[in-house]
Amino acid sequence: MAMQNEFLRWARVHQLTGLSRSTVWRLEKAGQFPLRRQLSANSVGWSLVELQAWMQSRTAATAPAPQEVTQ
């Protein structure tokens, strides 16, 4: 089943990530966060699919390595 994409406004991005506006801006500039998209003259949004992929990559990057069991 294909994921449906939608654009999220700042309040939802902040709620999902817990990041401040300045941190998101800094990560965007460094190429480490999905780029915002201009939705109209006065609004921007972030792709839900791209944001979910970013969150998944952060989870994978911070997950502890599995411990090897010796007997």
- Under a CB-based contact definition with an 8 Å cutoff, are residues 31 and 37 in contact? no
Q: Residue 34: is it exposed, middle or buried by C-beta count within 10 angstroms (0-12/13-18/19+)?
A: buried
pTM: 0.77
Residue 70 pLDDT: 65
**Rounded distance between C-alpha atoms, residue 35 and residue 24, angstroms:** 9
Residues 13-58: tens digit of each pLDDT: 999 999 999 999 999 999 999 999 999 999 999 999 999 999 999 8
On the question of pLDDT at 64 being above 80, the answer is no
End-to-end CA distance of the chain: 42
41-45, 58-62, 67-71: range with lowest mean pLDDT:
67-71
What band does 4 get if pLDDT is binned at 50, 70 and 90? confident
Residue type, 68: E
